[in-house]
Amino acid sequence: MTILDEIQTSIARLAEDGGSSVVGIGQRWGVGSGIVLGENRVLTNAHNVRGSRVTVTFADGHTAEGTVAGTDVDGDLAVVEVETGQTPALPWASDAPAIGTPVFALANPGGRGLRVTFGFVSGVDRSFRGPRGLRITGSLEHTAPLLPGSSGGPVLNAAGQLLGINTNRLGEGFYLAIPADEALRGRVDALARGESVQPPQLGIAIAPSHVARRLRRAVGLPDADGLLIREVAEDTPAARAGLARGDLIVTAGGQPVRSVDDLSGALRAAASAGTIELTVLRGTEERTIQVVLGSGDQAEGQS
C-alpha cells in the first residue's frame, strides 16, 4: 500500500468514525463547526455563537436548538447544551503531538456537510489574538486546509483522537488550534457548569509603553517601561484602589509590565486570589498599590 493509499484509507475511516461527532453551528451568517464531547455537550468557538441560543446541525441533517451553557470569549471557547441522542463523543488523545505529526481536520460549516482534510503539525506553542484582541498562547499550528466555517471543528490524529479545536486561519496554508490538553478539559467542564469566564478588570484606559515614554519625556520625566493610565472609570477596582490618570504601571503581580498582554496575563493569574499588587510610578515616586479585583466596567483602551 502506498502512502497515498494509507492517507485515503485514514480519511475515509475518520469520516465514518468521527464524522458523526462533528456538528454545524448556526445558520446563514456567522456559521461554524462544533464537536460532541459528551452527552448533550458540544464544544465550539465563542466567536461562533451569538446570544444564549444557537442552532446545531448534526451529521444526519437534523437540527436542534441549543443553549449556550458558558463562554470564554478571550479563550474563544463555548459549550452548548443540546440533545445529542446517540451521537458518540470524540475521544481525547493522551499524548501531545509533535512537529511532523500527521493530522486530520474535520468540519461541518453551518451543517452544510462534512469536510475532512489532511496535513501535518507545523508548529507548537504558537499564539494568536482572540476575539477581543487578547493573546491566546500554547496553540497548535498545522497545515490541514480549512474552509470558512470550519472553526470549532476538531483536529484528530490517525487514531481518531482529539488533538485540538480549530480556531484561527493564519493564511498561507497554516491554521491554529487550541490544544486538547488537561487545561482544556478543565475549562470545558467549567463552561458546561455555566461558569462563563469573566476576566477581572481594573477599569482603566491605557497607553502602550512607547506612547508612555514619549509622554513622560514631554513633561520632563525619566524614561521607564510600563503602561500609562489615561483614564480611570468611576466605581471600578482601579478607582477604589486609588490609581490615577498619569500613573505608570511597571509591574503587576511581581512581573514586569511592558504590554497589554503582560497586564492581562497577570490579571488572569490573580483572578483566583481576588487581589493583585501593582507597582506604579506617579511622576518619579514609586508606589505599591493593592487592588481588589472585580468585574468593574472597562474603559476603552483595555484593562
Going from the C-alpha of 7 to that of each of 2, 24, 102, 117, 158, the distances in angstroms are 9, 25, 10, 10, 9
Active site residue 62: no
Going from the C-alpha of 31 to that of each of 61, 62, 114, the distances in angstroms are 15, 16, 14
CA dihedral (97, 99, 101, 106) positive or negative:
positive
Q: Contact 116/106 with Cβ under 8 angstroms? A: yes
CA distance 106 to 114: 7
**Catalytically annotated residue among 72, 76, 247, 262:** 76
Residue with cell 493583585: 276
**Catalytically annotated residue among 139, 151, 264, 303:** 151
Q: Which amino acid is at 212?
A: A
CA 113 to chain centre: 25
Joined together, the cell numbers standing for residue 50 give: 451569538
CA distance 212 to 234: 22
Helices (H), the chain: 3-18, 182-192, 209-218, 237-241, 260-270
Joined together, the cell numbers standing for residue 115 give: 469536510
Active site residue 139: no
**Catalytically annotated residue among 33, 47, 72, 150:** 47
Write out the catalytic residue numbers.
47, 76, 151
